[in-house]
Amino acid sequence: ALRYEGWEVQTANDGMSAVRTARDFTPDAVVLDMMLPDLNGLEVLARLREQSASVPVLFLTAKDAVEDRVAGLTAGGDDYVTKPFSLEEVVARLRGLVRRNAQHVDPNRSQLSVGDLTLDEDSHEVARAGEEISLTATEFELLRYLMRNPRRVLSKAQILDRVWSYDFGGQANVVELYISYLRKKVDAGHKPMIHTMRGAGYVLKPAE
């Protein structure tokens, strides 16, 4: 149901799957049920925090399980909703968590990371799965813009405006050209991260 609200969703049916999915997907937020078949919600939260201290976690708890709610927040959860709940309430809580988390991100951080791809904005070092990638200045700026907006479809006009700082008019094919350059360097020998959304633009997301 969250997909109808514009969210990209990855699901997991048990705790271990949730941990693996969060590691591979690097989500903006996690919705976590206290009751799972293998690990309980608190155990999953502890493992998620080992991977990412900052990802916001929204707990789903039983209506009268006060102890669960207290334990979840004490253990590092960010918010909770009680069952039964409405989709509107979950969406509102998630939006609030993501917005609040974005405000707390260190604006001076130099490292961007999407999946196994990393980019250091200070040293201009780029690596995929630990292997260094050499980029030209323009390729670097294009990749940085994509990595600052993971899973977001960016139009050619947006890319031209941000990376080249002016309108190329009918020469938007320069974006296609540089995207192809990046693909040869970033995706070579790996599952693709840079995708063309026909008629819409381009998106960078963790390899599936």
pLDDT, mean of residues 28-48: 86
Say which residue, 73 or 113, is predicted with more confidence: 113
Per-chain mean pLDDT for the chain? 83
Segment 189-198, tens digit of pLDDT: 999 999 999 9
Residue 82: its pLDDT value, please? 83
Whether 157 has a pLDDT exceeding 90, the answer reads no
Say which residue, 35 or 133, is predicted with more confidence: 133
Instruction: Tell me 54's DSSP state.
Output: S
Burial 10-24 (b: 16+ CB within 10 A, else e): eebeebbbbbeebbe
Segment 83-123, tens digit of pLDDT: 888 888 888 888 887 777 665 555 555 789 999 999 998 88
Q: What is the pTM of this model?
A: 0.51
- 58-62, 160-164, 188-192: lowest mean pLDDT where? 160-164
pLDDT, mean of residues 69-90: 79
- How far apart, in Å, are the Cα atoms of 142 and each of 146, 151, 159, 185? 6, 15, 8, 13
Segment 167-191, tens digit of pLDDT: 545 456 788 889 999 999 999 999 9
pLDDT, mean of residues 145-156: 90
pLDDT, mean of residues 11-32: 87
For residues 103 and 97, what is the distance between their CA atoms, to the nearest angstrom? 10
Whether 55 has a pLDDT exceeding 70, the answer reads yes
Residue 107: its pLDDT value, please? 53
Instruction: Tell me 154's DSSP state.
Output: B
Structural domains of the chain, ranges and CATH numbers in brackets: 2-103 (3.40.50.2300), 111-204 (1.10.10.10)
- 5-9, 19-23, 56-60, 133-137: lowest mean pLDDT where? 5-9
144 falls in which pLDDT band (50, 70, 90)?
A: very high
**Quick one: which H or E segment has residue 48?**
helix 41-51
pLDDT, mean of residues 70-88: 79
**Interacting residues of 160 by C-beta distance below 8 A, sequence separation 6+:** 166, 167, 168, 172, 174, 175
Do residues 51 and 75 touch, judged by C-beta distance below 8 A? no
